[in-house]
Chains A and B, each alone.
Chain A
Amino acid sequence: MRFKSLFLGVFVLFSILGCSENKIDSKPTVNIWHWMTDRDPAFQELAKKYESLYGVKINFELYAPSDAYSQKIRAAAQGTNLPDIFGILGEKRDFASFIKAGHILDITSYMEANNNKWKNSFFPKALAVNEFSKGNSYGIEPGIFGVPIDIMTIQMVYNKKLLGQLGLNPNRPPKTLQDFLDIGGKIRDAGMQGLVSGWGEVWMVDCLANDYAFNIMGKDKVLATIRGEVPYTDEDWIKVLSVFKQMQESGVLAQGLVTMINKSAEQIFANEKAVFAFNGSWCVNVYKGMNPDLEYGAMLPPEASGRYPMSIWGGAGSSFMVNARSKNKEEAVKFLVWLTDQDQQAYLAQTTNNLPANKNSLSKIPEVLAQFARGMDYATHPNVWGVSEFSLVIEALDRGIQSIIIGEKTPEQVAGEVQKVKEREMAKRRAK
C-alpha cells in the first residue's frame, strides 16, 4: 500500500513537472544566426529585453568568421534547416538565388502596413539593397526581402594631426584628385605613409575604382559598360585606371598597399603611421578600440572630374531575412520590427558604433560617425544597380589595378585584358 502511494506520488509529481516544462516549451523561440562578433553582446542584451517585454525567447547564435558563416548558411539552405532569421553575405546574385529557392519571405506587406510606417523609418538606400524592383535582371518578383539592421558607407578618412604636420589645414582635407596627388610628395619627404587600405583583399580596390568610374563617366555609362554596351577600353575607363597609376607615381599610396590586409591597414592608421585610409564606417568602432585618442575625419574620395558627382559605396551594412519556411514567421517579423525601432537602433549605434538603419536614430552618434552618415547622400551600391558584372570581369579589373600599382602593367593593357574577359563571358552567356 505504501509502495503504491509512493508510486502514485512520484507519478503525480512528474506529471506536474512535465506539464510545467511543456508550458515553458510552448513559448515560441525565434532563432537567429549571424556573424557579427562586435554586435553580439548588444544583440544578446536586446534579446533579453524583448523576452522580458513580450515573453518570446530570442536565441541569437553567432557563427564567425564571416566565411564560415557564409558556408554554414549555404549548407543549411541545401538541407532546408535555416533558422527563423538569418543574414546573407554575398552579392545580390546570391540573395536572388536564396529567394528563388524559396528560402526568404517577401516582407513587402509588413513594410507597407499602416501607411508604410515600417518602410518609412529606414534610410531609403538601406532598404534599396534589400529590394528587387520591377523588371530586375535576376528574375525576382518585385518586393522587399530583407530588413536592414545598420548602414555603412565606404569612404576615406584622414588623420588631422598628420595633415597638420604636413603644413596643411587639418580641417580641410583634399577635395580634388590633383590636391590629393600634390600631398604625395610632402608625405614622401616627411617619411610618412599615405593611403592605407585592405587592397590585398581586392574587393576594396574594386570599390574605389567604381567610385572613380561614377565620378569620371557617370552612372549611366558605368551601367552601360556592365550591360556590354561600352567597352572597358573606352577612354573614360582608361582614365579611371590611370587614377591608380597617378596615385602610385605621386607617392600618396602607402608602401605594400597591394598586399595589405584591412586589419593591418586599420592598425597602421590607428597607430598614426598613415595620413589617409580607405575604409568602411565600421572602422569607427575599430579605431576606437585601437586608439581612443585618434583624431580623424571622414571625407569623400577626392574628385578626379567635375563632370559627375563622386559616388561611394553605401547602403545596408547588414540585413536580416526571415525564413519563408519557418513556423515562427510572424514572431520573427514582429521581433525585426521591434529591433529596427528608434530606441533599439539608437542603443545599437551607441554600443557598437555602427550607423543605424533607422533614420530617426541618428541624433546621438559621434561626430565622425555622423560624417560617415552624411556620405549616404552620395551612396550607391552594385546591389541596387539592377545589373551585375561578371565576377571574372571584376576579378580581372581588380587584379589589373594591383598590376598597375606595382608598375607591372599600363592602364591600357589592363583595359584590354578586362575587355577580353568581358567578351568571353558575354559569348558564354549568349551560348547558353
Chain B
Amino acid sequence: MKVRESLENYTFILPAITIFSIFYVIPFIWVFQLGLFEWDGISFTKVFVGLQNFKEIFFQDRSWWQSMWNAGYITLIALTFQNILAFMLAWACDREIRMKNFYRVIFFIPPVLSEVVVGMAWRFIINDIDGANIINRMLMGMGLGSLAHNWLSDPNTALTTVALVHCWKGFGWGFLIFLAGLQTIPRELYEAARVDGANAWQSFKKITIPLMIPVVVLVAILTVLGTMQVFVLIVSLVGGEFAGHTSVPVLRILASMRGSSRFGYACAQGITFGMVLIIISFIQYRFSKKGR
C-alpha cells in the first residue's frame, strides 16, 4: 500500500521532473561536457582538453576575473541603493497616502521597459553630443559645474553610472515584492504596538523588519542573480566593455563565443559563472536561516 502511494506521488511529480530535467539538468550537464572540449561551434569534431579550459579561467584569464569584479560592484550597488530605495518606496506606498495606486504603477514602469530602450534613453539623458546633457546641465544649474563631465566615457564613473541606471531599471521589481510582503503583515500588530506606546520607528524596527526578513532574502537573491547577468544595458549604454571598465561575465562569454570562436571555453566560463551564482545564493540562504 505504502509503495503504491509513493508511486502515485512520483507519478504526479513526474511531468515536472521531466520538464525540469529536459530544460535545466540535461543542458547543464551538456554545457559542462562541452566545457571539456576545444570546439569552434561549427565543426563536427571536438578536441578533448579535460579541465584545461577551467584551469585557464582560474589561473590565466585576468579579464574574466575583472569582469566578475565589475559585476560584483554593480550587484553591491543594486543590493544596497536599489533595494533600500525599493523598500522605502514600498513602505511609503503601504501607508495610507494619496494617489498610492498611481505611484505603484509609475514605479513599475522601468522594469517592464526593454533594457535597450532604457540604455538608449539614459544615454540621451546623460550624453552631451548625441543627447540632452540633462545631468550636467542640472549640476551646472546647482553651481556644481566642476563635476560636469562625460559620465559614460570616464573610466572612473562609467561603471557606477551603468550601475545606477541598472538600479533605476530594476528597483520596481523589489518595490513590488516588498509591497506584497508588507501587506501580509497583520495590521493588528501595529495597532497593539501603538496601544503599548510604541512610536513609528519602534514599530518599524520591532515589527516590520523582523517580519520582512524572508522577503528581503528573496529580493536579495533575485537581485544578485539578475544583476550579475546584466549586459544588454551595458552594450546599449557604452557599446561594450570599454577598455575593460564595463566588462561583465556575460560579455566575456559572448566574446569567447563570437570573437574567438571558442565555444568550449565559453561553456566552461558559463559553468564557472553558474557555480559562482549558486554558491552566492546558497550562502545568502544559509545566512537568512541563521538570521531567523
Interface residue ranges, A against B (CB under 8 Å): 67, 70, 74, 77-78, 90-91, 93-94, 97-98, 100-101, 103, 193, 196, 198-202, 254-261, 264, 267-268, 273-274, 391-392, 394-395, 399-400, 402-403, 406, 408, 424
Asked whether, in the complex, the Cβ of B243 is within 8 Å of the Cβ of A198, the reply is no
B161 to chain A, nearest CB (A): 10
Asked whether, in the complex, the Cβ of B43 is within 8 Å of the Cβ of A100, the reply is yes
Partner of A264, one of B42, B130, B259: B130
A200-B239, A255-B128, A259-B238 known; A399-B244 Cβ under 8 A: yes
Bitwise, B86-116 to A at CB < 8 A (1) or not (0) is 0000000000000000000000000000000
Q: Is B214 an interface residue (CB 8 A)?
A: no
Q: Which residues does chain A contribute within 8 Å of B40, judged by CB atoms?
A: 93-94, 97
- Interface residues of B: mostly helix, strand, loop or mixed? loop
B270 to chain A, nearest CB (A): 15
B267 to chain A, nearest CB (A): 14
Asked whether, in the complex, the Cβ of B153 is within 8 Å of the Cβ of A256, the reply is yes
| 10 further interface pairs, Cβ-Cβ under 8 Å (given A193-B129, A403-B243) | A74-B42, A78-B41, A199-B239, A200-B240, A259-B153, A259-B158, A260-B130, A261-B236, A391-B261, A406-B154
Asked whether, in the complex, the Cβ of B41 is within 8 Å of the Cβ of A255, the reply is no
Closest A residue to B38 by CB, please name it. A432
Q: Which of B43, B153, B154, B237 has the most CB of A within 10 A?
A: B153
Partner of A408, one of B43, B237, B243: B243
Partner of A259, one of B44, B239, B255: B239
User: How many CB-defined contacts (below 8 Å) exist between A and B?
Assistant: 95
The CA of A198 and the CA of B123, in the complex, are separated in Å by 14
Interface residue ranges, B against A (CB under 8 Å): 40-44, 60, 123, 127-130, 150, 152-155, 158, 236-244, 255, 258-261
Partner of B129, one of A77, A103, A255, A402: A255
- Interface residues of A: mostly helix, strand, loop or mixed? helix
The CA of A193 and the CA of B152, in the complex, are separated in Å by 17
Closest B residue to A409 by CB, please name it. B243
Asked whether, in the complex, the Cβ of B244 is within 8 Å of the Cβ of A391, the reply is no
The CA of A426 and the CA of B44, in the complex, are separated in Å by 25
Asked whether, in the complex, the Cβ of A424 is within 8 Å of the Cβ of B153, the reply is no
Closest A residue to B242 by CB, please name it. A259
Q: Which residues does chain A contribute within 8 Å of B239, judged by CB atoms?
A: 198-202, 259-261
The CA of A18 and the CA of B183, in the complex, are separated in Å by 65
Closest A residue to B243 by CB, please name it. A402
Asked whether, in the complex, the Cβ of B152 is within 8 Å of the Cβ of A259, the reply is yes
Q: Which of A98, A267, A392 has the most CB of B within 10 A?
A: A392
Partner of B261, one of A90, A400, A408: A90
B248 to chain A, nearest CB (A): 15
Asked whether, in the complex, the Cβ of A399 is within 8 Å of the Cβ of B241, the reply is yes
Q: Which residues does chain A contribute within 8 Å of B258, judged by CB atoms?
A: 67, 70, 90
Asked whether, in the complex, the Cβ of A268 is within 8 Å of the Cβ of B129, the reply is yes
A368 to chain B, nearest CB (A): 23
The CA of A11 and the CA of B43, in the complex, are separated in Å by 50
The CA of A232 and the CA of B233, in the complex, are separated in Å by 34
The CA of A29 and the CA of B150, in the complex, are separated in Å by 54
Q: Which residues does chain A contribute within 8 Å of B158, judged by CB atoms?
A: 259
Q: Which of A254, A255, A257 has the most CB of B within 10 A?
A: A255
A262 to chain B, nearest CB (A): 8
Asked whether, in the complex, the Cβ of A93 is within 8 Å of the Cβ of B129, the reply is no
The CA of A264 and the CA of B236, in the complex, are separated in Å by 10
Asked whether, in the complex, the Cβ of B255 is within 8 Å of the Cβ of A395, the reply is yes
The CA of A199 and the CA of B43, in the complex, are separated in Å by 32
B115 to chain A, nearest CB (A): 14
A323 to chain B, nearest CB (A): 14
A59 to chain B, nearest CB (A): 24
The CA of A223 and the CA of B86, in the complex, are separated in Å by 56
Closest 5 CB pairs of A and B: A200-B239, A402-B243, A97-B42, A259-B238, A256-B153
- Return 14 A-B CB contacts under 8 Å, by A number: A98-B42, A202-B241, A254-B129, A255-B153, A256-B153, A264-B123, A268-B129, A274-B129, A391-B260, A392-B260, A395-B259, A399-B243, A403-B243, A424-B60
A248 to chain B, nearest CB (A): 12
A382 to chain B, nearest CB (A): 13
The CA of A418 and the CA of B88, in the complex, are separated in Å by 48
B70 to chain A, nearest CB (A): 14
Closest B residue to A80 by CB, please name it. B44
Q: Which residues does chain B contribute within 8 Å of A274, judged by CB atoms?
A: 129
Asked whether, in the complex, the Cβ of B129 is within 8 Å of the Cβ of A101, the reply is no
Asked whether, in the complex, the Cβ of B42 is within 8 Å of the Cβ of A256, the reply is no
A201-B240, A406-B243 known; A97-B150 Cβ under 8 A: no
A98-B42, A101-B44, A391-B260 known; A257-B153 Cβ under 8 A: yes
